[in-house]
Amino acid sequence: MQKRRIGNRTVSAVGLGAMPLSTKDPRPSPEEAEAVVHAALDAGVTVIDTADAYSRDEAEFGHNEELVARALASYGSAGDVLVATKGGHTRRGAEWELDGSPAYLRRACEASLRRLGVEAIGLYQFHRPDPVTPWEESMGALRELVDDGLVQLAGISNADVGQIDAARAIVGDALVSVQNQFSPGWRSSAGELAHCAQHGLAFLPWSPFGGVSAAKELGSTAAEFAAVADELGVSVYQVTLAWHLAQADVVVPIPGASRAESITDSAAAADLQLTDDQLSRLNAA
């Protein structure tokens, strides 16, 4: 599989977004979820994205991290996998809330370390800006987690260009990635993507197919992508991920999957070549 860089790590060009394994309704069984992670590894995927808040509700906070940890442990040889998790979202029942305070981020990181069963988290990302906590304080906390050896690499999520630059100034070279929403129907993060490419930061587009519900209709809502898929004899999802990868060499899409067949298909996009004409049509769509 084509490779990309996240900080000092060489990783697969396509990752796995593990969120649907915990939040999709109906949820895959534990055996089905494990099969998805194993299929991703079999296909050469070496980036798995999770978060402490990926669960049905507050009562099972950390469900997705524990699931990923079990699946990796049962695979047998997954030492080169970069597990990217996140902290800063909280749950009140099934509702999503925010806490970017340094004290909370420290507790969240320590809890993620326990659930993942590691001494240092490969990539720890601040999940979303907290309007109550100054951005600079949250970034200072992220830097301290790196300095204290709890985190190897740091990232931010749902950030604008100004926040990216502020994070770069505070976190320094340990800041290696930005995870923002980006898809054929959601291109408002194009400026952040270009900014990441300019400064050598990995850009991890979340919901690259537009989200769980939108993904089902991608073949009809993204007509040009479907047309190119027909030309190449592949799925519209492979074309969509190949388009993501063609935006810049810092892009590492993390498509979600709840079936082994889905992540196997997505992983194949890493080696799909689009012609200049096809890429031009997709960019203009």
Q: Which of 54, 104, 124, 237 is catalytic?
A: 54
The alpha-helical segments, DSSP class H, found in 91-134 are 102-116
Rounded Cα gap, residues 143 and 171, in angstroms: 5
Rounded Cα gap, residues 180 and 157, in angstroms: 6
The packing angle between helices 161-171 and 190-199, to 10°, is: 30
Is 54 among the residues known to form the active site?
yes
DSSP-derived 3-state class of residue 29: coil
CA distances from 113 to 57, 72, 91 (A): 20, 15, 19
Buried b (16+ CB within 10 A) or exposed e, 142-153: bbbbbeeebbbb
Q: Which residues are catalytic?
A: 54
